[in-house]
Amino acid sequence: MPSYKAPLQDINFLLKDVFDATSHYATLDNCPEITEDVIDAIINEAAKFAEQVVGPLNAVGDAEGCQFNDGKVTTPTGFKDAYQQYVDNGWVGLGCPEEFGGQNMPPSLGSVVSEMIGGSNWAWSMYPGLSNAGIECIGAHGSEEQKQTYLHHLVKGSWTGSMCLTEPHCGSDVGLIKTKAIANADGSYSMTGTKIFISGGDHDMADNIIHMVLARVEGAPEGTKGISLFIVPKFIVNEDGTLGERNTVNAGSIEHKMGCNGSATCVMNFDGAKAFIVGEENSGLQQMFTMMNTARIGTALQGMCIGNNSYQGAVEYAKERLQMRSLSGPKNEKGPADPIIVHPDVRRMLLTQKSLIEGSRALVYWLNQENDKSQFAKTDEERETAEAILGMLTPLAKGFCTEVGNEVSAIGIQVYGGHGFIREHGMEQHARDNRISTIWEGTTGIQALDLIGRKVLGSGGELLRGVTKIIHKYCEANKDDALLAPFVESLAARNKEWGEVTMTVGAAAMENPDEVGAASVDYLMFGGYVILGYLWSKMAQISQAKIDAGDNNPLYFSKVHTAKFYFDRIMPRTNVHLQAMKTGSANLMDIQEEHFIIS
Amino acid sequence: MPSYKAPLQDINFLLKDVFDATSHYATLDNCPEITEDVIDAIINEAAKFAEQVVGPLNAVGDAEGCQFNDGKVTTPTGFKDAYQQYVDNGWVGLGCPEEFGGQNMPPSLGSVVSEMIGGSNWAWSMYPGLSNAGIECIGAHGSEEQKQTYLHHLVKGSWTGSMCLTEPHCGSDVGLIKTKAIANADGSYSMTGTKIFISGGDHDMADNIIHMVLARVEGAPEGTKGISLFIVPKFIVNEDGTLGERNTVNAGSIEHKMGCNGSATCVMNFDGAKAFIVGEENSGLQQMFTMMNTARIGTALQGMCIGNNSYQGAVEYAKERLQMRSLSGPKNEKGPADPIIVHPDVRRMLLTQKSLIEGSRALVYWLNQENDKSQFAKTDEERETAEAILGMLTPLAKGFCTEVGNEVSAIGIQVYGGHGFIREHGMEQHARDNRISTIWEGTTGIQALDLIGRKVLGSGGELLRGVTKIIHKYCEANKDDALLAPFVESLAARNKEWGEVTMTVGAAAMENPDEVGAASVDYLMFGGYVILGYLWSKMAQISQAKIDAGDNNPLYFSKVHTAKFYFDRIMPRTNVHLQAMKTGSANLMDIQEEHFIIS
């Protein structure tokens, strides 16, 4: 079982060489001064925690899973203790407001920490991750009293949070929610209903669990307009802040899943549970949406960082495993065979992983900085520009990074051959743990509709132009550079196609709205490959400049090579997606339901 | 948990409308007369057995897995009983020689049975599947005495078989085998070594297990030239046919795997075990190769038939699950939402599954008939033609059908959303069970090297021309047909590209052998999409003729639509593979090992 190794070289390359984090942080307002020393300290400590404390629990968490007995969830051996260390080290409050005990760091730093903690053990990282969602939610929409009551404990980590949205009959379609809240005389509500797929809905790590629940106040309008957001604590909090009576919200069972077994996925039953409304009635959906950017970037990060494990494992194995001779002559003459990394097809697999994972990482880091700006930039204009880029690229990153993350995890198994299919090496766990990333926080299909429908066509193309303009300017500025010219030529052509196909689909959609859905996922994947092309060209450019300046760090050579690979062998995928989009919706819609014959 | 439903309509469409099975069987020699009644009886009985006996054990087999205690393997609840019914019904001997109690049916009929039995429960089907491999092996290469000693019991099913090839340090690279056989005075050998990944190496279903083992006779030449094939029975068989002493071959442990949990995957220890050589010393590899076509078609079938379950499950769910409204207006006005099959992107997923699975099924059925001919055709010429097509298309089908089978199984989860990730609906099990199919019996990379290296370039292009000529003739004959013209135009262009890129890669390989490996998997996938295009065009043509003749079976309309979908949205994938191949090996080989930086 390979142990987790934080990808510090690539993280530092992005933070220092590509995205110049210290200069970026210097432009922000209302957050602490973040020097290179601060960044280094946080990253190195998080790496140590991931490698030494959380990572070693990844396999045991998968094998043991959570247990459900007598209505209570027990987490796998070691999970509780690791959580206590995480709390004691103050990690929970990293990005939380100072007035509640946090350190008020911008989201981008928290994301790098999440990348390593989650990369080392995604299931474990779900518990503190859900707390962050609750903190963000109450911080943005809760009353002052609610903030005082809940945030100190959540920020400290002595309590955790959960998000209760899904019900048996509704996932993506939140408007169908049935969970009901009836107003009590004291201003609280009585909540009744069943929620499913609730991560961290119950566990044994913290003294209290604060559920953020979407429900329908009795008599509210149908659909999404009648949804309200509530706080439902596991233990009611007394006025003096101590824990009072046990609320009537209980885990009914836990799910047996494909992966993320160490994370408890609960059915939660609300039996007249005491609930406290957040903000106004019927404004629950908008409140929930304010958290969606961070949550979706966090899921893009899941696809990337679990995929990263598969890549790392595959590289280690490919360098060690001796099997067959190179077709161009032995490379390890004294050994019984050559390491499989000599074989072109093994390299094709490794470079596919490398280019997709490192490209996805660059995309996530870009979005993290835009996320910082959207919250902490000094001017409205900067914040709005950042919001526009985020609005466009967040659904794209969520869909794309998780889809390619799954591809990368599948390749990780393939490089190991039969040894990838058995549990021993951990490769199959990565694939299982990563499988959910294309589903939760909105499936790829939902992201794709958000991207092309709500964002691109909904803005009359403005959000798209905000991004294609960046790429266009980049191409114009670099088209005469010898290294970059072939990249830029390809990139400029794809960028132009992106605009054109948007017009084509948009025009068709005026006649037939199904044209949007028929193009949507191909549109998202097309865009993802273009964005990664832009980032790979930039990374190659920056690396080549370092090489030209005499820096012999192998990482820089690696980036230049990987960019070439990406443009040669990955970028052509845009073509399939473009052609598919152009075929329109008839090839999907003309077939009748009765034609899907299965037996 | 959806129950298994045998895809009888599609099976009958292929056997009757597309491949005219009764006429095909009439051309064969040395096998029983196979009328439509015989075919129907076998298929319907197998469907019933799959649906009623083996299918219901699929989930329990996954959940329980095999147990290993005191050196013995216990299979999951119900497995042993189902096996006994399978034996009692005479299924084991379907394709086995009559003189040993079999029915001597050609391989294509056994394959349809395997499709349903394996589709309903792949893990269970491994046990009888391994017996068939042993029967084929001893039947082809064993002495008369060995046949008499082992085949009666294997064909009846009272004993089972295992294939022992892999060792801890060698999988694909069989030449590295270390297991040693020392000749005894009585003509037997003493075998010492360790084999891993041995399916059915031990279990509780049968009285004896006959291991077919590759090992190296003391003093044999190094590499593949010094490999011999042995029979190593679990219990030595006495001269009178009764079981004698327990041989010193034992399961040391079983693997914990991603899937196929009901199939015992054993570490087998040979501690001076009594072994009987098959044929001559040092001819083991050729003997093993004679079974490789059937085994690889059988694995292509695995990718297809497990993928089929994912497709069936996804269709059922998409018709039932109510979520969101159609963008083009409600389709289920009285319900709270529309079934998700109304959404274009859900249809894109279902049609991707449908076109790949039904296309793969057609490919497997085609190869089955060629496999029949290669063994039972009346003339040498027919047998040789069949051998040539098989040689070319077997590695292609093994690689392609398993790769797309895995894609289809992943889509099955996606259609279910969060419900796909939990165990309850069985979708994630299909994905886990299917994951091994791209690995065993030779990985996709190994198949691809066999295809482009050994078969295509090794025959100076002759084996490729044997296939492209069939497609070329088909295109010429149908280019003026209104329905087929667009298919044929695309197909003819891709077929031409196939020849051209073969020349390009072949020429480059003369300078640099790594060019073969650099193109190999893209070459295989490119070819797979072309072959499926040919089969989809044929299926559409046959179906349209039925429709034109007044047959309103929805299946025919479904085939015509699916062909359109395939050419619109799947066939363009060939372009990516073509472009990737043309970029050559430099983008893979120029990067240094030290550039694969992981931490």
Report the gap between the CA of B143 and the closest CA in chain A (Å): 33
Contact between A166 and A174 (Cβ < 8 Å): no
Instruction: Please tell me which of the candidates B5, B336, B435 has its beta carbon nearest to residue A421.
Output: B435
For residues B503-517, average pLDDT? 97
B-facing residues of A in 209-228 (CB < 8 A) are: none
pLDDT for the residue A294: 86
Q: Does A573 touch chain B (CB under 8 A)?
A: yes
Q: Do A422 and B341 touch (CB under 8 A)?
A: no
Rounded Cα–Cα distance for residues B63 and B59 (Å): 6
Q: Do B417 and A171 touch (CB under 8 A)?
A: yes
> A13 pLDDT exceeds 70?
yes
- In a mutational test of the B interface, the residue from A258, A441, A594 whose CB has the highest number of chain B CBs within 10 Å is A258
Q: Do B422 and A265 touch (CB under 8 A)?
A: yes
Instruction: Please tell me which of the candidates A171, A580, A587 has its beta carbon nearest to residue B572.
Output: A580
> B338 pLDDT exceeds 90?
yes
Q: What values do phi and psi take at A513, rounded to 5?
A: -60, -20
Q: Which residues of A touch B352 (CB under 8 A)?
A: none
Q: Do B521 and A348 touch (CB under 8 A)?
A: yes
Q: What is the tens place of the pLDDT at every residue in A341-367?
A: 999 999 999 999 999 999 999 999 999
pLDDT for the residue A1: 67
**What is the per-residue DSSP string for B224-253?**
GGG-EEEEEESEEEPTTSSEEEEPSEEEEE
Q: Does B520 touch chain A (CB under 8 A)?
A: yes
Q: Do A324 and B172 touch (CB under 8 A)?
A: yes
Q: What is the tens place of the pLDDT at every residue in A575-585?
A: 999 999 999 99
Q: Which residues of B touch A568 (CB under 8 A)?
A: 580, 583, 587
Q: Which residues contact B350 (CB under 8 A, 6 or more apart)?
A: A596, B311, B314, B315, B318, B341, B415
Report the catalytic residues of B.
441
Rounded Cα–Cα distance for residues A14 and A278 (Å): 38
pLDDT for the residue A586: 97
Instruction: Please tell me which of the candidates B259, B444, B569 has its beta carbon nearest to residue A580.
Output: B569
pLDDT for the residue A288: 87
pLDDT for the residue A293: 82
A-facing residues of B in 357-396 (CB < 8 A) are: none
For residues B526-539, average pLDDT? 98
Instruction: Please tell me which of the candidates A316, A344, A587 has its beta carbon nearest to residue B585.
Output: A344
For residues A169-184, average pLDDT? 96
Q: Does B345 touch chain A (CB under 8 A)?
A: yes
Confidence band for A292, pLDDT divided at 50, 70 and 90: confident
CA-nearest residue to B434 within chain A is A421
Q: What values do phi and psi take at B244, rounded to 5?
A: -105, -135
**Which letter does DSSP use for residue A226 in this model?**
G
For residues A486-503, average pLDDT? 98
Q: Does A19 touch chain B (CB under 8 A)?
A: no
> B290 pLDDT exceeds 80?
no
**What does pLDDT average to over chain A?**
97
ipTM of the complex: 0.97
Q: What are the beta bridge partners of residue B322?
A: B339
Q: Does A590 touch chain B (CB under 8 A)?
A: yes
> A82 pLDDT exceeds 70?
yes
Q: Does B588 touch chain A (CB under 8 A)?
A: yes
Side-chain-side CA neighbours of residue A508 (13 Å): 20
CA dist B141 → A104, B100, B224, B322 (Å): 75, 15, 18, 58
Q: Which residues of A touch B348 (CB under 8 A)?
A: 518, 521, 588
Q: Does A413 touch chain B (CB under 8 A)?
A: yes
Report the gap between the CA of B596 and the closest CA in chain A (Å): 7
pLDDT for the residue B1: 67
Report the gap between the CA of B429 and the closest CA in chain A (Å): 8
> B192 pLDDT exceeds 70?
yes
Q: What is the tens place of the pLDDT at every residue in A306-348?
A: 999 999 999 999 999 999 999 999 999 999 999 999 999 999 9
Contact between A324 and B173 (Cβ < 8 Å): yes
Q: What values do phi and psi take at B159, rounded to 5?
A: -115, 155
Q: Which residues of B touch A590 (CB under 8 A)?
A: 561, 564
Q: Do B312 and A587 touch (CB under 8 A)?
A: no
For residues A415-429, average pLDDT? 97
Rounded Cα–Cα distance for residues B202 and A367 (Å): 53
> B275 pLDDT exceeds 70?
yes
Q: Do B598 and A316 touch (CB under 8 A)?
A: yes
Q: Do B589 and A347 touch (CB under 8 A)?
A: yes
B-facing residues of A in 442-471 (CB < 8 A) are: 443-445, 448-449
**Which letter does DSSP use for residue A379 in this model?**
S
- In a mutational test of the A interface, the residue from B120, B178, B591 whose CB has the highest number of chain A CBs within 10 Å is B591
Q: Do A7 and B598 touch (CB under 8 A)?
A: yes
Count of beta carbons in the 10 Å neighbourhood of residue B38? 15
The helix (H) or strand (E) run that includes residue A424 is: none
Q: Do A569 and B583 touch (CB under 8 A)?
A: yes
Instruction: Please tell me which of the candidates A521, A558, A587 has its beta carbon nearest to residue B595.
Output: A558
CA-nearest residue to B579 within chain A is A572
Percent of chain B predicted with pLDDT > 70: 100
pLDDT for the residue B294: 86
Q: What are the beta bridge partners of residue A74?
A: A67
A387 is catalytic: no
Q: Do B598 and A312 touch (CB under 8 A)?
A: yes
Catalytic residue among A358, A441, A497, A515: A441
Neighbour-count burial for A283-308, b at 16+ CB within 10 Å, e otherwise: bbbebbeebebbbbbbbbbbbbbbbb
CA dist A525 → B56, B219, B347, B562 (Å): 39, 57, 17, 23
Task: Label residue A71 left, alpha or beta by phi (over 0 means left) and psi (-120 to 50 means alpha).
Answer: left
Q: What is the tens place of the pLDDT at every residue in A89-118?
A: 999 999 999 999 999 999 999 999 999 999
Q: Do B575 and A580 touch (CB under 8 A)?
A: no
**Which letter does DSSP use for residue A442 in this model?**
S
**What does pLDDT average to over chain B?**
97
Q: Do A343 and B517 touch (CB under 8 A)?
A: yes
The residue written with tokens 């550079």 in the block is A481
Q: Does B348 touch chain A (CB under 8 A)?
A: yes
Instruction: Please tell me which of the candidates B350, B431, B438 has its beta carbon nearest to residue A414.
Output: B438
Q: Does B71 touch chain A (CB under 8 A)?
A: no
The secondary structure of A77-146, three-state, reads: CCHHHHHHHHHHCCCCCCCCCHHHCCCCCCHHHHHHHHHHHHHHCHHHHHHHHHHHHHHHHHHHHCCHHH
Q: Does B582 touch chain A (CB under 8 A)?
A: no
> A398 pLDDT exceeds 90?
yes
**Which letter does DSSP use for residue A257 in this model?**
B
Q: What values do phi and psi take at B468, rounded to 5?
A: -65, -25
Contact between A362 and A535 (Cβ < 8 Å): yes
Instruction: Please tell me which of the candidates B7, B312, B565 has its beta carbon nearest to residue A587.
Output: B565
Side-chain-side CA neighbours of residue B61 (13 Å): 28
Q: What is the tens place of the pLDDT at every residue in A550-568?
A: 999 999 999 999 999 999 9
Summarize chain B as % helix, strand, coil (round to 5). Answer: 60, 15, 25
Q: Do A414 and B444 touch (CB under 8 A)?
A: yes
Q: Do A328 and B514 touch (CB under 8 A)?
A: yes
Instruction: Please tell me which of the candidates B8, B341, B517 has its beta carbon nearest to residue A593.
Output: B341
Long-range contacts of A325-329 (CB under 8 A, 24+ apart): A326/B514, A327/B513, A327/B514, A327/B516, A327/B517, A328/B512, A328/B513, A328/B514
CA-nearest residue to A335 within chain B is B176
pLDDT for the residue A134: 92
> B270 pLDDT exceeds 90?
yes
For residues A136-140, average pLDDT? 94
Q: Which residues contact A482 (CB under 8 A, 6 or more apart)?
A: none
Q: Does A345 touch chain B (CB under 8 A)?
A: yes
Q: Which residues contact A6 (CB under 8 A, 6 or more apart)?
A: A46, A47, A50, A51, A116, A119, A120, B599
Q: Does B258 touch chain A (CB under 8 A)?
A: yes
Q: What is the tens place of the pLDDT at every residue in A452-476?
A: 999 999 999 999 999 999 999 999 9
CA dist B581 → A277, A525, B396, B453, B518 (Å): 60, 22, 16, 14, 7
B-facing residues of A in 549-568 (CB < 8 A) are: 554-555, 557-558, 561-562, 564-565, 568
Q: What is the tens place of the pLDDT at every residue in B454-498?
A: 999 999 999 999 999 999 999 999 999 999 999 999 999 999 999
Length of chain B: 599
For residues B7-21, average pLDDT? 98
Contact between B427 and B327 (Cβ < 8 Å): no
CA dist A153 → A4, A106, A242, A278, A331 (Å): 30, 20, 11, 18, 59
Task: Tell me how far apart the 2 most distant CA atoms of chain B are, in Å.
Answer: 84
Q: What is the tens place of the pLDDT at every residue in A512-550?
A: 999 999 999 999 999 999 999 999 999 999 999 999 999
CA dist B465 → B368, B462, B491, B537, B543 (Å): 20, 5, 15, 20, 28
| Token pair of A466 as six digits | 């905000």
> A488 pLDDT exceeds 90?
yes
Q: Do B558 and A597 touch (CB under 8 A)?
A: yes
